[in-house]
Amino acid sequence: GAGVSQSPRYKVAKRGQDVALRCDPISGHVSLFWYQQALGQGPEFLTYFQNEAQLDKSGLPSDRFFAERPEGSVSTLKIQRTQQEDSAVYLCASSPPGQGNTGELFFGEGSRLTVL
């Protein structure tokens, strides 16, 4: 596709359920980032992949959060045993080779998670 694609756009989960959020980056983009954006806040870094390698997961808030990118393209962010404080928009961004640090990030439209 032309841009970063995220699915689902909206997800409602009951507390305790597991959820999986998918990100399909722009073809050829090596770097992939996940951010969490709570209502009225800026994006907060969760994790970073370079190809299939997860180089930084320091932003994942707990061991309930897990991300993978097994073939270096599509990535999945999984949240186990969801809690109400997990309610947020989860943004995925990708960046082409050589631009991951100094260039622009291309963001998807986000997956809005609401935990009841």
Which residues contact other proteins by CB under 8 A?
4, 31, 33, 35, 40-45, 48, 50, 55-56, 58-59, 91, 93, 100-110
- If the CB atoms of residues 14 and 39 are measured against other proteins, the closer one turns out to be 39
Q: How far apart are CA 35 and CA 89, in angstroms?
A: 8
CB of 69 to other proteins, least distance (A): 15
User: Which is it for strands 75-79 and 19-24: parallel, antiparallel or unpaired?
Assistant: antiparallel
CB of 32 to other proteins, least distance (A): 12
| Nearest CA-CA partner of 5 in 28, 27, 31 | 27
CB of 104 to other proteins, least distance (A): 4
Q: Which residues pair with 56 in a beta bridge?
A: 48
- If the CB atoms of residues 47 and 82 are measured against other proteins, the closer one turns out to be 47
CB of 81 to other proteins, least distance (A): 26
Those residues whose C-beta lies under 8 Å from the C-beta of residue 9, and which sit 6 or more positions away, are 109, 110, 111, 112
- If the CB atoms of residues 28 and 42 are measured against other proteins, the closer one turns out to be 42
- If the CB atoms of residues 55 and 81 are measured against other proteins, the closer one turns out to be 55
Return the biggest CA–CA distance within the chain: 41
